[in-house]
Amino acid sequence: MQTFTQFLAEMSVSPSLNQLLHTLTKTSKEISHAVQHGALAGVLGATEQENVQGETQKKLDVITNDMLKTTLAEDSTVKGIASEEEDDVVAANTDGEFLVSFDPLDGSSNIDINSLVGTIFSILPAKDGELTQQQFLQPGRNQVAAGYVLYGPSTMLTLTTGNGVFMFTLCPESNEFMLTESNVIIPADTKEFAINMSNQRFWQPAMQNYIDDLLKGDTGVRGKNFNMRWIAAMVGDVHRVLSRGGLFSYPTDTKNPAKPFKLRLMYEANPMALLIEQAQGKASTGYETILDIEPTEIHQRVAVILGSRNEVDACLKYHG
């Protein structure tokens, strides 16, 4: 098996991107260690703080955000940082080549029940001039790399630098990420979907009708039975899609009219959409391709439908 270092050398990744990816993987190992210790380290439970999204922060949200912010700020290749847990962008190094956006602990509500969580990251090219939010407002197609680290029974890194999707498993003995899956391809067809069914009554008619037809199975117009899976952490549900196919969606809903969308474009939708497309899947809001969206602000939210290409197309037909 190749180590992560050997893989990057073989892929001819630039020295600066190589350095940044090693910074991210080094910090993810430290986060994995913190997650594994859980209650033993006193990191479970919530704080009394809210993030810019108005969500109560978990202790590990704050801890992992600070870990990533500190190590990335010390990396000379990083010009600026944007995090789901930060109100504004954070300046790092004036001459840095890259901008890094991240969700430090996706699915943090799962921490207290010892379920799947992960770190999602997106790397964009930096522009000349003073660091502002505007520098980060680039479409997802501009990403030079994206990925996530899944903290589960094993710690896994899934990465794309624009030339396919690769998965690495953290070896407990050597503390090295080892290449375990190359050129991941999502099956075009699937019989599996992931969605929060408790919100069904708040969805648009298009999504309600689509899911209704899936639930009718082989007695309905789709003519086949579907299984539903839901982990309540995007990183876990997308990992399953990349591993064996499927459709994942967090669609538009009217539960809170002020917030019709759940997932953040910069920290979740864009990096996951790049991984999905690089694995020959498809990612859409229902009405436009996620990677083509021109962001308007760093904490922008969007609807997400992604996964097996033919199944996403079937869903989009309901959206007209």
pLDDT tens for residues 56-81? 667 888 899 999 999 999 999 999 99
CATH 3.30.1550.10 fits 4-181, yes or no: no
What fold is seen in the domain 192-318? D-Maltodextrin-Binding Protein; domain 2 (3.40.190)
Delimit the CATH 3.30.540.10 region(s) of the chain. Answer: 4-181
d(CA 130, CA 110): 38
- Residue 268 marked as a ligand binder: yes
Q: Between these two residues, 278 and 39, which has the higher pLDDT value?
A: 278
d(CA 161, CA 168): 14
DSSP string, 174-190: T--EEEEE-S----S--
DSSP string, 64-86: HHHHHHHHHHT-TTEEEEEETT-
Delimit the CATH 3.40.190.80 region(s) of the chain. Answer: 192-318
- Residue 255 marked as a ligand binder: no
- Residue 115 marked as a ligand binder: no
Quick one: pLDDT at residue 45? Answer: 67
- Residue 32 marked as a ligand binder: no
List the structure tokens of 244.
Answer: 């064996």
d(CA 288, CA 293): 8
Quick one: pLDDT at residue 59? Answer: 81
> How does pLDDT run across 138-183, given as a tens digit for each residue?
999 999 999 999 999 999 999 999 999 999 999 999 999 999 999 9
- Percent of the chain scoring above 70 in pLDDT: 95
- Residue 262 marked as a ligand binder: yes
Strands 282-284 and 304-307: antiparallel
Quick one: pLDDT at residue 61? Answer: 86
